[in-house]
Amino acid sequence: MDFQDNSTVNKLTILFFIDKMDVPMTEAIILEACYYRNPWLEYMDCVQTLNLLLEADFISKTTHDNTVYYSITPNGRECISHFYSRVPASLRSAITEFVKDNRASYRRKQEYSTSYRLNPDKTYTCILKIVDSMKTTVDLKFTVASKEIAKAVAKKWETNAPQIYAMLYEQLVD
């Protein structure tokens, strides 16, 4: 399945995908969906198309906690509604199915973020966040002894962030 026909289809593909996802997304998530996991666009076409869509005011970008998020604008929604039929039906179907199967996990990736960094004393600082509607709800930082522990904390945070937040809230607020 090769959908890399032309610039117009590329633009409509990304607009259709962002519209279907219905949440602000990072460039990394757009690239993962449109290039790494699906044959919808080539890498450079995807990056270039994002910039062209920004210039045309079909998508907008906002920055939160040093992370850039892309969203469809009203102009972008109007464009996709007028040119919907220019996106091949098989591509629309593939995007719709992919979004249905992956929307929740992509939202979680963005809502429950984690990172860690090496400190001068060879310990690691874990940074754990919950971001809801571009607003940081939780921002935890703590130090662990090794990179292995930092990785384990990151993995646990990705799967248990809602429960950890609920427990903290209950213990601290109630």
pTM comes to: 0.71
Name residues whose C-beta falls within 8 Å of residue 14's C-beta, 6 or more positions apart in sequence.
30, 34, 41, 46, 49, 50, 53, 59
Q: Above 70 in pLDDT, residue 51?
A: yes
**Separation CA 128–CA 111 (nearest Å):** 10
C-alpha count within 13 angstroms, C-beta hemisphere, residue 122:
0
Q: Per-residue pLDDT tens for 2-50?
A: 444 478 999 999 999 999 998 888 898 999 999 999 999 999 999 999 9
Q: Which residues sit opposite 130 in a β-bridge?
A: 112, 138
**pLDDT digit string, tens, across residues 98-119:** 999 988 887 777 778 888 999 9
Mean pLDDT, range 72-82, rounded to an integer: 95
Confidence of residue 134 (pLDDT cuts 50, 70, 90): low
